[in-house]
Structure 1
């Protein structure tokens, strides 16, 4: 009987050693796949499958695609890129707009390099911070938040955003990372393309310029895929392609001057565009409220504590006291900018995330994912728990539902 117990103990010890060896193979030095997260800024699901994106279409057909993905409020670039990597609503991670004001930090603008690189603006815990703390190397080819030491941590390798950097340079850098030996190869890498968003803003979501931008970006992704295959890396890359929001057409003339919304003597403008924020001036609160609050022909305004509950927005102190939401197809800009506005249809986002025009894309392909799978529409906070699972790291606190994207995985247990 005694010898039986010793035998069982020995078998258990062997199994424990085997399990430890299996787990260590997914830690630094192991050969676990890299998660490559790619953003195509401003791409709507309807922009796919119409001849401009053969490589993206093939990935969607052979891997996993969603019918659409709904952005978080507000449907803007910085808030939603940061939501994708934290799983938190903008109202929780603090990146509540592309333009903000904080009583302690002052003003934030997405082109202000000092503000963008200041970790105090960026709340929550982005995925690269979690990965780095777990000993997994990360590398970012542009992603909002990656230029700042969030919680004192940066990606192992990162680059300051460089608008217009050649597509081939971006692809070559990412390929270099993916081709490294397991000890140094990033377990998480990001890649960002601003080109569709720029073309859409300038000329509208169905313009020849946007079609051309999509073809260029798709060709770059095709080059990336060809090089991955040629280097035998297909089984070492899980590819997730997303966008932050869609794009709506704004016909010429469909613009409101913010000075016509409220007298500048009564309220200071915090943000313009589609989600327009105001701070009533001291002693002028009643006048500002009388001019702004309620429904208007081209927009609607609320006190921040009374914003529609479905937006899950208004608790963070950076949200301005009064928020106005433009109707789809309308912008609000300072009067001084009206003369510089081209007399043609352009494109905008930042409208109600429930508007079909604001829908984003989700495509996934690689060894972790099923083939030929289409998912129903879902909320973009649900991407984060999937990404954390792919990296095999414990997710930080988040607002997503890990069950939403389980059907995308080969192993959905």
Structure 2
């Protein structure tokens, strides 16, 4: 009898979850890594222009500080600034765990480094299935969507699109209503050749075509009219030169430091207690940088309260690079500078049943994308750094 009651209860829960999911709209969130906010003014982007005409385009999207890839992708899906979600840079040291985090280490999949409640977690907890194709932070054990992929850069973009389409053709009970999809370009090309190079012109056009292909395939689905497509990037890109570089560590004695990893153009250092004043005085002599003790970083950057920010944050001035050795060659482009530097700004485009048509909106903060998706999917969320008021104006009444 007890077994029968338990099975009946589980069946009831499954039916309730199915009914809850069935009534929800769909969101496909796509990131084009390193797609600068103003590329459309330099290069042809007909497919993104089409989305703008059919839906919403923001003047730009302001990334979180530092303007690096992993912190910003994770800020978008947690609604929290890097200081509050724990991913404070692409590489950093955690003094409590006594461990380093980097994109090439096993620490990248260690849940202890990740804070906040990613939007796919929130959706899953409220009965909505989710999926992710390579979104940073989406392959962290029980913090992952129902469906996710472990990053493999060799998988063709067309295969990624076809896989997403296949997910949206699954039976309703298995079908994700929130999908996050990541592409690593035009970031790589921008780094290698520079943001306004002829090579990047080709790559930007390619990525625009990828978005066009995805958009068309989504529209062809039987549920096409229910899908909200949101296209963003994590940050922009600016030119750097071998004539503008700073070997910052040559100004600091190794005996003063407990941790220092040069990450162009922003880095944090951990300093021995007795060397704090010595480091401060030495950094004042370094050209083409600015630096702060972490308890004195401007509040507008929302950075420095996390232990992983360490003791000092050092940032090269725009166009300058931090290097380990003066002999290190520098070319192309980079990002990571102050988020009020316009070259660091990202894109935001969206269309679908929940968005207004041909609507232009002001620059918005990337942490507010979380609130936007939560609203579309009808999710209850905790207070985050994002602000729904910032994105409300782009939605239909």
Matched, 1:367 2:359: no
SS at match of 1:227: helix
Q: What is the CA–CA distance in structure 2 between the aligned matches of 1:286 and 1:84, rounded to whole Å? A: 37
Q: What is the CA–CA distance in structure 2 between the aligned matches of 1:49 and 1:298, rounded to whole Å? A: 30
Q: What is the CA–CA distance in structure 1 between the aligned matches of 2:343 and 2:117, rounded to whole Å? A: 29
Q: Is the 8 A contact 1:99 1:271 kept in 2?
A: no
Residue aligning to 1:59:
51
* Deviation string, structure 1 residues 36-84 (Cα, Å, up to 9, x no partner): 0100111112112544321111101221010011111111111111111
Alignment RMSD, CA only?
A: 1.9
| Structure 2, gaps ≥5 residues long | 1-15
Residue aligning to 1:79:
71
Q: Is the 8 A contact 1:74 1:353 kept in 2?
A: yes
| Structure 1, gaps ≥5 residues long | 1-22
Q: 2:318 aligns with which of 307, 318, 328?
A: 328
Q: 1:177 aligns with which of 153, 163, 167?
A: 167
SS at match of 1:222: helix
**CA 1:26–1:310 in structure 2 vs 1: closer, same or farther (change >3 Å)?**
farther
Residue aligning to 1:285:
276
SS at match of 1:238: strand
Shift of 1:153: 3.0
Q: What is the CA–CA distance in structure 2 between the aligned matches of 1:282 and 1:163, rounded to whole Å? A: 42
Moved more, 376-385 or 73-82: 376-385
Q: Is the 8 A contact 2:63 2:235 kept in 1?
A: yes
* Deviation string, structure 1 residues 88-125 (Cα, Å, up to 9, x no partner): 1111111111111112330000121x211111100010
Q: TM-score, normalised by structure 2?
A: 0.91
How many residue pairs match? The answer is: 380
Q: Is the 8 A contact 1:278 1:322 kept in 2?
A: yes
Matched, 1:123 2:115: yes
SS at match of 1:27: helix
Shift of 1:330: 0.9
SS at match of 2:368: helix
Residue aligning to 1:215:
205
Q: Is the 8 A contact 1:258 1:272 kept in 2?
A: no
Kindly name which structure, 1 or 2, has the bigger radius of gyration based on alpha carbons. 1
SS at match of 2:186: helix
Q: Is the 8 A contact 1:52 1:215 kept in 2?
A: yes
* Deviation string, structure 1 residues 243-276 (Cα, Å, up to 9, x no partner): 1111111123211113234233322313421112
Shift of 1:296: 4.6
Q: What is the CA–CA distance in structure 1 between the aligned matches of 2:273 and 2:59, rounded to whole Å? A: 47
* Deviation string, structure 1 residues 207-258 (Cα, Å, up to 9, x no partner): 1221121122222222212222333332121011111111111123211113
Equivalent residues in 2 for 1:147-296, closer than 5 Å:
147-149=139-141, 152-267=142-257, 268-281=259-272, 283-292=274-283, 294=284, 296=286
Q: Is the 8 A contact 1:34 1:178 kept in 2?
A: no
Q: Is the 8 A contact 1:302 1:322 kept in 2?
A: yes
SS at match of 1:318: helix
Shift of 1:181: 2.7
SS at match of 1:324: strand
Q: What is the CA–CA distance in structure 1 between the aligned matches of 2:70 and 2:213, rounded to whole Å? A: 27
Q: What is the CA–CA distance in structure 1 between the aligned matches of 2:287 and 2:113, rounded to whole Å? A: 34
SS at match of 1:195: coil
Equivalent residues in 2 for 1:23-62, closer than 5 Å:
27-28=20-21, 30-62=22-54
Q: Is the 8 A contact 1:68 1:377 kept in 2?
A: yes
